[in-house]
Every structure is written in structure tokens, then in C-alpha cells.
Amino acid sequence: MESAPKTILQSVCDTPLRSGTIGWMQTMIERKPLEQIEADALVVPVFEGQKETRFGAVDLADSGEISGKSLELTLLHHAPGVAARRVLLVGAGKPEKFDTAELRKLAGAALRHLKSKSVKRIALVLEPDHASAGYACAAVEGAILGDYEPDRYKTEDDKKSVESFAVVVPGGAASLNEAVDRGRILAEAQNFTRDLVNEPANRLTPAKVVEAARRMASEYGLECEVLERSQMEALGMNALLGVAQGSAEPPALIEIRYRPAQPGFKAHLGLVGKGVTFDTGGISIKPADGMEKMKYDMAGGAAMIGAMRAIAQLRPPLPVTAFIPCVENMPGSRAQRPGDIVSAMSGKTIEVINTDAEGRLILADALTYARRKGCTHLVDAATLTGAIVVALGHLNVGLFANDDAMRDRVLGAAKAEGERMWAMPLEDDYKDYLKSPFADLANVGGRAGGAVTAAIFLKQFAEETPWVHLDIAGTAWLDDCKPYQAKGPSGVPVRTLVRLAMEWKD
């Protein structure tokens, strides 16, 4: 057992966690010849056009039963020549298209299928061509992510759990153990984010997000400081406070700090995440249909807390600070009204035309605060607009940037992590859409280009700091399950953010 579970997520609520959440399944490298592996199931990738498996017994080309198409599953019992009780052949697609993203999905699909059959010990075979740290890491990630279920509040006792997941690399190098640890850290951080996102708004108020952030920070040796309402008033964060004033739940601005052992790095990365624990729309109230999903309006903030959890363990070279403005957007009797004018921390005045465009208001002050705190580069993640779902569906995160180098860094990290992102336009001409006759800018434009006008609003608070905005409204929550992933919270873009920090060079 090379990497025993290190932590179990302390729930922000009282419900005990069971399998499917963090830290239960063992992960390891298995170095024995694969014939000798005594797993309950051996998972073997099969490529399109592959004529036979290592087990000879299956004539893939002729039977027509197995094509090798991506994620096709064939379970064999009592395969000849192996100690394992079952062999699961999993389609890996075309060999020239196979990469770590494909393996991550393959591992997740295999795990979910075998778990549904109550299989306990799984071993996934890596071909010699793929016996590298990157692939081993992706396999472990895929398994841990696939294991996640958003079913904490189901009380039936028939939940299944997998005990162990091994990556089989006969005679594999010692360095592969590190890859397994890295995969576990990343996937657990992502599942931690998913758990937070999945919490309903009666259980996860801004105060509870604070509790979860503080607990995570103290567990991993990070500093955590929280601004409360009176401090925000003193700082002039009226854009944020205006959103909070319609709710009985007090707002909070969480700051989580990671500092590398070696100081003196020039860059300081700021991660800013939208933490609206529930978005009713406020006085510009949303229709009832589908409103229950607005519990995931804090997914950007949860991603930053999850990313900091992994960053604390993997220790990148540069300082990283997360800022999470947390509010509940409610239409209480003190709620802000359409037409109200608020004065943001930066000094700009904003006419609040639509109280449902609240994310940009809280992010405006959080971005200003992050700049004042010395961040030289900023990334924000926010479930900001329905318009990004219209533009890109549920496949790609919408990426907006005021700096090409920063855009390319984030796109590069996203590609390496298999989190799809698409760069959107952000010319200053779009500023005209937000003109107000009464204030410096309005908080909404018309219906046209809704995701871009939201981003151009934020750009005016990022000012000159190199900045990337990630609109995750379409990707933070999946309504349909995938073979490798449960429905519900996705945990995007945790892995991209961690890689961005880890690969920072200057």
C-alpha cells in the first residue's frame, strides 16, 4: 500500500461521509507481472484496430463484438492465464488519439462500471508506451473522480464502494509512486470542490463556506483571513454589500494564503471565485423552474478553495492567494432595487439595472481587493451568465482575458489537464454596451453578447493587472451523468488552476 488515504473531508454539515467521497479508496502502483495480479478485476485498454489482447482468447477482429471504440466495455470472467477473477476490456479509441485525458475517462468509466457490480479491488493495466508518470497520474485521477457520487444525503444503506485501485506497470520506476500521490491530491481536491458545490443552500450559507475554508486551511497549513460586513463597509465594498443586503445571512470575503518556502518570486497569483451560496435573482427574481440549481452559484469559489487545498500539498514556487466573496442573493425587504447606484471599492459607480447580475458586482470588489493585496496576476472563476451556456453549451469553459500571455498560460494548463476552455473576444468596444446615463457603468447590457458584456464589466475592475476570467456557468454542473462521471458538480477548473501555479516560471 503505497498511498494510504491521508484525509477524510470533514463535512461542513453533520452527515458522516461514506465511500465515494474523499480518502476511502486505496491507490497504488502494482509492479508484478500482470498474470500474477490477484485483483477482482483487471482493466485492460483495447484500441481500435487492435487484433488481439494479451489474453489471446479474444479474437477482437473477427467476433465483431469488440471494436475498441472509446469507453466500450466488455467484461470477461475467468480469462485464461491471469490470476484476476475478471478482465474488463475498455475501448481506448484510436491509438494516435489516445492521451492522458482519454485515459482519465477510461479509468473513471471502468471504475464506475465495476463498482456497480460490487467489485472491490481493481487493477488497471498501462501499456508499456503509456507507463509514464503523466499517464499513471491521470489513471488515478480518473478512478477517484469516477468514484465520486453526489449522494451524501441519501440514507439507504446499499451504497457500493471500491477498496483499491492499482495502476499496473510491471517493473515500474519508483518515481511512479509520486505520480500516484499527485493524482490523488488533485482528484481529492476536485472532489472536495464537488462536495462543497453540491451542498444545498440551507446547509451551506456564507458562514458555512467560511467554516469549510478555515478548516481546510488549518488542515493544510494555509493562512485564512475573513472580512466581515463592518470591515467591508470600512473598505467601501458597496458593490458586494449591495448584493448581500437582501439576505439575513451575513456576507464574508474569504482570503486564503499560500506562501512558498523560498520568498522573492516576482509574480503573485490571485484566484478570485464567485461564492453566491444561492441566487434567487434578488428583486429581479428568477423563474421557479430550475431555480433549485442556483445552489451551485458558488462553484467558482469552491473551485478556488479546492485548488488551494492541492496547492498547499504540491507547493508551487510562487505565492498564491484565493479571494472568495460569499453572499446569498435574496429579495428581502432590505434588498437592493433595480435602479440603485452603488459605489464600488475602486471608486467606480454602478447602476444596478438587474439584481440578478449579482456575480459581477461581488467580483468587482473582490478583484479590486486582490489587486490592493499585491496580486500581480489574476484568474477568476464564476458561474456568471446563462449566455455562456447558449454560446458554448456544457463542454467548454468560456475564457476571457485582457492579456495574451496570461490567456495562453491558462489555455495551456487547461489543455494539459483535459479541462476544455474556449477563448472568447473582449475588445474594449464592448464597453459601450454597459453605458449608463446616471453612473460610470451599468451592471448589464442588452441580451446581445451576454457573456462578453459580463466579462467586459469585470475587466474594468481588473484594470491593468493581467487577468483571465473563466465563465463556468455551463461546465460546473452536469445535468446528465457520463460513463466516467456522476451527474452534478464537475469540480472544473480545479486541475487547471493547480497546474497553472505549478508551471509558473518567472
Task: Kindly list the residues in this chain that would bind Zn ion in the complex (CB under 5 A).
Answer: 276, 279, 297, 356, 358-359
93 interacts with ligand BES by CB under 6 A: no
State which residue, 130 or 360, has the beta carbon closest to Zn ion.
Answer: 360
358 interacts with ligand BES by CB under 6 A: yes
Given 297, 340, 351, 365, the residue binding ligand BES (CB under 6 A): 297
State which residue, 359 or 398, has the beta carbon closest to Zn ion.
Answer: 359
- Length of the chain measured in residues: 506
Of 390-449, binders to ligand BES (CB under 6 A) are 444
206 interacts with ligand BES by CB under 6 A: no
For residue 439, the minimal CB distance to Zn ion (Å) is 19
The 8-class DSSP code of residue 295 comes to: G
CA nearest 167: which of 149, 141, 145, 186? 141
Q: Which does 340 bind (CB under 5 to 8 A by kind): Zn ion, ligand BES, none?
A: none
- Which residue has the CB atom at the shortest distance from ligand BES? 386
- Supply the angle between the helices 175-198 and 494-502 in degrees, to the nearest 10: 140
Q: What does the alpha-carbon distance between residue 123 and residue 88 come to, in Å, rounded to a whole number? A: 10
Give the CA count within 13 Å in the CB-facing half-sphere of 426. Answer: 23
Report CA 97 to chain centroid distance, whole Å: 24
For residue 371, the minimal CB distance to ligand BES (Å) is 23
Q: Which does 3 bind (CB under 5 to 8 A by kind): Zn ion, ligand BES, none?
A: none
Number of residues interacting with ligand BES: please give it, by CB under 6 A. 16
Please confirm, yes or no, whether 69 is among the known catalytic residues. no
State which residue, 340 or 358, has the beta carbon closest to Zn ion.
Answer: 358
Contact 66, 72 (CB under 8 A): yes
Contacts of 497 (CB under 8 A, 6+ apart): 271, 303, 304, 307, 379, 381, 413
Contacts of 302 (CB under 8 A, 6+ apart): 193, 196, 197, 209, 273, 275, 489
For residue 271, the minimal CB distance to ligand BES (Å) is 19
CA nearest 309: which of 22, 3, 13? 22
Q: Which does 385 bind (CB under 5 to 8 A by kind): ligand BES, Zn ion, none?
A: ligand BES
277 interacts with ligand BES by CB under 6 A: no
State which residue, 279 or 417, has the beta carbon closest to Zn ion.
Answer: 279
For residue 251, the minimal CB distance to ligand BES (Å) is 15
Placement of cell 465594498 in the chain: 237
Q: Which does 380 bind (CB under 5 to 8 A by kind): Zn ion, ligand BES, none?
A: none
Given 190, 385, 490, 496, the residue binding ligand BES (CB under 6 A): 385
Q: Which H/E stretch holds residue 326?
A: strand 320-329
For residue 284, the minimal CB distance to Zn ion (Å) is 8
Q: What does the alpha-carbon distance between residue 189 and residue 230 come to, in Å, rounded to a whole number? A: 32
Q: Which of 286, 348, 415, 420 is catalytic?
A: 286
Q: Which does 354 bind (CB under 5 to 8 A by kind): Zn ion, ligand BES, none?
A: ligand BES
366 interacts with ligand BES by CB under 6 A: no
The secondary structure of 128-154 as a DSSP string is GGG-SHHHHHHHHHHHHHHH--S-TT-
Given 40, 195, 279, 340, the residue binding ligand BES (CB under 6 A): 279
Please confirm, yes or no, whether 94 is among the known catalytic residues. no
For residue 463, the minimal CB distance to ligand BES (Å) is 22
Given 473, 497, 498, 501, the residue binding ligand BES (CB under 6 A): 473
Placement of cell 479509441 in the chain: 93
383 interacts with ligand BES by CB under 6 A: yes
State which residue, 224 or 388, has the beta carbon closest to ligand BES.
Answer: 388
Q: What does the alpha-carbon distance between residue 116 and residue 157 come to, in Å, rounded to a whole number? A: 14
359 interacts with ligand BES by CB under 6 A: yes
173's grid cell: 520506476
340 interacts with ligand BES by CB under 6 A: no
User: Which runs of consecutive H residues, i.e. helices, occur in 16-97?
Assistant: 60-63
Neighbours of 266 (CB within 10 A): 7
Q: Which of 360, 409, 459, 499 is catalytic?
A: 360
CA nearest 454: which of 368, 384, 382? 384
Contact 103, 130 (CB under 8 A): yes
- Binding positions for ligand BES, rule: CB under 6 A: 279, 297, 354, 356-359, 383-387, 389, 444, 450, 473
| Residues assigned a catalytic role | 286, 360
